[in-house]
């Protein structure tokens, strides 16, 4: 199944019945699939007049208690940032898919990872966090869509799936329903008409009294602490006796796996740390490997000018050299390019 279609079908399987979107390449298969499938299962698809309207429809539907999603690509996600900030402020659950393309500006339509800052550091205004999930296979896309909705509902916070054009367009066999849905409490806070049997539901992010706003934000940050503890995820591959550890996520992590194979044939021991959650970031995992004596250096590889690299360097904390290699603008690094970089570092480190 194609990555974008797998996202859409996984959302339907996860009980999502509302989709609001706006056309933009390279994610167009998601809304097209939803437009066809949602009416078959009693759901609603709307092609909104803009990304801004789409995300605000998501706000309304999420506030009304529905499992709801939107998808877009980089410039469209920039437009959604206003709504994402309001959704986080009003503590509403939803899933936002970003099939990243090269930027800045109109950029290009080829795969990129240059929206890491926007996704992880909060592209909208104010003190808030998005949970950011970064799948690297189509099967993982399917699993993380189910999990993303569940995390969103459990913590009442928006969750983003950060993919790229490569992941969206490639095809792989998938199995649905592998990840079991979580048991979640009913949404008694939602606006569904008020009979007086519960407090009046008000979906809101306005707190005009600064003390009330500080209290509200602190309450949200307690939630973020719990998310850090419970939801941080990373995959470590071949790290046990690695001289060089590569940190990479999504499509780039797939390429690094090929690099590891080629390198091992040449007797070079390379490991991979692949963050699955970009926020919360698996800093502890990276730090603990960077401490090992056999690790000489950590190399971050990204399809950007080095965005996750900043978080990796923070995690490494000066214990070992933290280096970066990347291609950007829609250019995808080839395994041999990365291997050449590893060799250079190795020669330097072993000198």
Partner 1 sequence: MKKVFKRPESLTDKPMHYCPGCTHGIVHRLVAEALDELNIRQDTIGVAPVGCAVFAYDYFNCDMQEAAHGRAPAVATGIKRVHPDKVVFTYQGDGDLASIGAAEIVHAANRGEKITAIFINNAIYGMTGGQMAPTTLLDQVTATSPYGRKAETEGYPIRISEMLSTLEGAAYIERVSVHDIKHINHAKKAIRKAFEYQLQGRGFTMVEVLSTCPTNWGLTPLESLKWLKDNMIPYYPLGVKREVE
Least separation in angstroms between CB 241 and partner 1: 53
Dihedral sign, CA of 251, 257, 262, 263? positive
By beta-carbon proximity to partner 1, the closer residue of 194 and 241 is 194
Closest CA to 141 of 239, 6, 279: 6
By beta-carbon proximity to partner 1, the closer residue of 44 and 169 is 44
Binder to partner 1 among 206, 226, 305, 334 (CB under 8 A)?
A: 206
Taking residue 180's Cβ as centre, other Cβ atoms within 10 Å add up to 9
Binder to partner 1 among 7, 24, 30, 62 (CB under 8 A)?
A: 62
Binder to partner 1 among 32, 79, 170, 203 (CB under 8 A)?
A: 203
**Residue range at the interface with partner 1 (CB under 8 A); choices 29-37, 62-70, 111-119, 232-240:** 62-70
Instruction: Give me the count of residues in the chain.
Output: 351
65 sits near partner 1 (criterion: CB under 8 A): yes
User: What would the x/- binding string for partner 1 be over residues 179 to 198, using CB under 8 A?
Assistant: ------------xxxxxx--
Binder to partner 1 among 52, 109, 262, 268 (CB under 8 A)?
A: 52
By beta-carbon proximity to partner 1, the closer residue of 18 and 149 is 18
59 sits near partner 1 (criterion: CB under 8 A): yes
By beta-carbon proximity to partner 1, the closer residue of 208 and 350 is 208
Binder to partner 1 among 57, 120, 174, 299 (CB under 8 A)?
A: 57
42 sits near partner 1 (criterion: CB under 8 A): no
By beta-carbon proximity to partner 1, the closer residue of 54 and 273 is 54
209 sits near partner 1 (criterion: CB under 8 A): no
Tokens of 258: 């090929």
Binder to partner 1 among 83, 135, 330, 333 (CB under 8 A)?
A: 83
Dihedral sign, CA of 86, 314, 144, 173? positive
Closest CA to 112 of 8, 258, 2, 252: 252
By beta-carbon proximity to partner 1, the closer residue of 195 and 351 is 195
CA–CA separation, 191 and 245 (whole Å): 49
Closest CA to 166 of 308, 327, 12: 327
Task: Output the DSSP codes for 136-169.
Answer: -SHHHHHHHHHHHHHHHHHHT-EEEEEEEHHHHH
Tokens of 171: 């095809």
By beta-carbon proximity to partner 1, the closer residue of 204 and 264 is 204
Tokens of 160: 């983003």
CA–CA separation, 178 and 143 (whole Å): 7
Least separation in angstroms between CB 223 and partner 1: 20
Taking residue 292's Cβ as centre, other Cβ atoms within 10 Å add up to 16
Residues 6+ apart with CB under 8 A from 211: none
Pairing mode, if any, of strands 158-164 and 94-100? parallel
By beta-carbon proximity to partner 1, the closer residue of 215 and 291 is 215
Tokens of 78: 């920039």
Binder to partner 1 among 7, 14, 30, 61 (CB under 8 A)?
A: 61
Pairing mode, if any, of strands 270-275 and 244-247? parallel
20 sits near partner 1 (criterion: CB under 8 A): yes
Write out the residues near partner 1 by the rule CB under 8 A. Answer: 18, 20, 44, 46, 48-50, 52-54, 56-66, 68, 82-83, 86, 90, 191-196, 200-206
């Amino acid at each position: 199944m194609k990555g974008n279609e797998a996202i859409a079908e996984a959302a339907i399987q996860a009980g999502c019945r509302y989709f609001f979107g706006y056309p933009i390449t390279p994610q167009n298969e998601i809304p097209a699939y939803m437009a066809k499938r949602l009416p078959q299962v009693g759901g609603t698809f709307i092609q909104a007049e803009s990304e801004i309207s789409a995300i605000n429809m998501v706000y309304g539907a999420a506030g009304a208690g529905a499992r709801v999603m939107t998808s877009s690509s980089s410039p469209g996600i920039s437009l959604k940032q206003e709504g994402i900030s309001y959704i986080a402020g009003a503590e509403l659950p939803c899933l936002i898919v970003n099939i990243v393309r090269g930027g800045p500006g109109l950029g290009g339509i080829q795969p990129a990872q240059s929206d890491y800052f926007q996704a992880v550091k909060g592209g909208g205004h104010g003190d808030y966090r998005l949970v950011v999930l970064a799948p690297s296979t189509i099967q993982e896309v399917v699993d993380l869509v189910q999990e993303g909705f569940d995390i969103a509902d459990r913590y009442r916070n928006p969750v983003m799936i950060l993919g790229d054009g490569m992941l969206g367009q490639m095809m792989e066999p998938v199995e649905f329903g592998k990840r079991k849905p979580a048991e979640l409490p009913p949404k008694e806070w939602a606006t569904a008409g008020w009979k007086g049997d519960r407090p009046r539901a008000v979906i809101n992010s306005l707190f005009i009294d600064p003390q009330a706003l500080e209290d509200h934000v602190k309450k949200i940050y307690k939630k973020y602490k719990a998310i850090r503890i419970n939801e941080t995820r990373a995959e470590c591959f071949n790290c046990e006796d690695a001289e060089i550890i590569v940190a990479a996520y999504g499509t780039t992590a797939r390429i690094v796996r090929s690099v590891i194979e080629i390198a091992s044939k040449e007797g070079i021991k390379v490991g991979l740390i692949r963050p699955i959650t970009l926020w919360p970031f698996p800093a502890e995992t990276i730090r603990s490997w960077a401490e090992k004596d056999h690790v000489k250096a950590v190399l971050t590889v990204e399809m950007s000018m080095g965005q996750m690299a900043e978080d990796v360097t923070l995690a490494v904390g000066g214990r070992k050299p933290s280096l970066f290699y990347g291609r950007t603008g829609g250019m995808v690094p080839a395994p041999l390019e990365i291997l050449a970089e590893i060799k250079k570092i190795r020669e330097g480190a072993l000198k």
